[in-house]
Amino acid sequence: MSRRAVLVLNAGSSSIKAAVFDGTLTERLGAMADGIGAPGQGNLRCGSTRAVRDLPDHAAALGALLEALAGQGYALSDFAAAGHRVVHGGAALTAPAVVTATVMAQIRAYIPLAPLHNPHHLAGIEALSLRAPALVQCASFDTAFHATNPEVAQRYALPAAFAAQGLRRYGFHGLSYAALCEALPALSGAPLPRRLLACHLGNGASLCAIRGGRSVATTMGYSPLEGLTMGTRVGTLDANAVLDLAARDGIEATRRLLNFDSGLRGLSGGTADMRALLADPSPEARFAVEHFVYWILRHAGSMIAAMEGVDAIAFTGGIGEHAAALRQRILEGLHWTGVRPADGATGPALHQPESAVSAWCVPAAEERQIAADTLTLLNAG
């Protein structure tokens, strides 16, 4: 086991994902603990092994993961560092960083901007610190990739005092977009396209306008709620509608509605699973899929305008990678750009040879990106 191996952790509200990468950024082992905080419902997966475990909190879940990794030959003492996904780095944390007391304080300060994410990332970092105080820990931020957006894209049309308080567009899925930019040239055999429309489509979904390898616009904003129709998130909604809902039902009920009970789930009357929706002939399911596609196409026009054109389109994420029929519908809706989709293409190339705009399917590699960030920070140190 090389001391250059990196442990990557992605802590969520009820789960922790883990992956082991070697010094060549090859993933050696994946693991996951979920059902945290649900008595009798905890599950532990490590490689091909499965087990039911009681996981009362993140510390217990991390301990179970580390025990399982050690059982597969990856002891905690073998790792050179650990890399963490952190959703919100705000305006201050715009590049991967070694975790220090100052960085921890900044991540904590952004909890109000990402209350569903940052507390759990902090819990993972703190739990690992207790078990291995000397281990170098690094953080990669989903918001960082979009720090290159121009100020006119980041600012809401509010008085300056509110922008100074952090009320601005940040954008998310940045680790996915960074990984896509790294992977696409190897898949295409050509340099990264100058103007790239990147589509991260999953339960959470967003688009990003990437010009010259840098994000210049994205659909998510102050939080991951803004933008496209998503699995359970409403996407863009008139602020007055939000105020009316909050006045009628209360802030917490409205927060739950907009984040967990809307999007595909709300439109279909029950499911957020795109596979189930595509197989369901009911009018509600068909409309949910149409809504998803329509708003991708609407927002795609905005992203293309921000780049002043488009040279390539790339799909990633669970839906983006696996829903071929949906990709085809999106590409057909973008025929005006000059893209000519190839019938039945599964990737990586999705376009016809004569297409003026290329189209690609790029496997998501956020964990690998975090490992790369971590090794870069170690080498710099």
Are residues 224 and 125 both part of a single domain? no
CATH classification of the domain holding 56:
3.30.420.40
Are residues 328 and 212 both part of a single domain? yes
Which residue, of 117, 141, 165, is where some domain finishes?
A: 141
What are the angstrom distances between the C-alpha of 348 and each of 195, 313, 321, 342? Answer: 18, 12, 9, 11
Are residues 18 and 125 both part of a single domain? yes
Total residue length of the chain? 381
373 is catalytic: no
Per DSSP, the residues of 309-343 read S-SEEEEEHHHHHH-HHHHHHHHHHTGGGTB-BPT
Which residue, of 141, 163, 178, is where some domain finishes?
A: 141
Tokens of 4: 């250059």
Are residues 221 and 347 both part of a single domain? yes
What are the angstrom distances between the C-alpha of 87 and each of 150, 281, 344? Answer: 20, 36, 35
- Domain containing residue 63: 6-141
Are residues 243 and 362 both part of a single domain? yes
In a domain, 116, yes or no: yes
pLDDT in tens, 192-208: 999 999 999 999 999 99
In a domain, 162, yes or no: no
In a domain, 173, yes or no: no
Are residues 135 and 14 both part of a single domain? yes
What is the C-alpha to C-alpha distance for residues 169 and 96, in angstroms, rounded to an integer?
19
Are residues 99 and 207 both part of a single domain? no
Number of domains the chain is built from: 2
pLDDT in tens, 38-91: 887 889 999 999 988 888 988 899 999 999 999 999 999 989 999 999 999 999
Are residues 211 and 131 both part of a single domain? no
In a domain, 154, yes or no: no
In a domain, 318, yes or no: yes
Give the HSE-up count for residue 48: Cα atoms under 13 Å, Cβ half-sphere: 0
User: Catalytic pick from 142, 238, 311, 373?
Assistant: 142
C-beta of residue 125 within 8 angstroms of C-beta of residue 99: yes
pLDDT in tens, the chain (381 residues): 456 799 999 988 788 999 999 999 999 999 999 888 888 788 999 999 998 888 898 889 999 999 999 999 999 998 999 999 999 999 999 999 999 999 999 999 988 888 878 998 999 999 999 999 999 999 999 999 999 999 999 999 999 999 998 899 999 999 999 999 999 999 999 999 999 999 999 999 999 999 999 999 999 999 999 999 999 999 999 999 999 999 999 999 999 999 999 999 999 999 999 999 999 999 999 999 999 999 999 999 999 999 999 999 999 999 999 999 999 999 999 999 999 999 988 889 999 999 999 999 999 999 999 999 999 999 987
What is the C-alpha to C-alpha distance for residues 194 and 348, in angstroms, rounded to an integer?
19
In a domain, 169, yes or no: no
Burial 333-349 (b: 16+ CB within 10 A, else e): bbeebebbbeeebebbb
Q: Residue 3 has what pLDDT?
A: 61
What is the C-alpha to C-alpha distance for residues 140 and 373, in angstroms, rounded to an integer?
7
Residue matched to tokens 């489509």 = 201
Are residues 248 and 306 both part of a single domain? yes
Are residues 137 and 215 both part of a single domain? no
- 358-361 β-sheet, strand order: 214-218, 205-211, 195-201, 312-316, 358-361
Are residues 124 and 205 both part of a single domain? no
Which residue, of 102, 121, 141, is where some domain finishes?
A: 141
Tokens of 213: 């390898």
Angle value at C-alpha 321, between 318 and 322, nearest 5 degrees: 80
Are residues 134 and 197 both part of a single domain? no
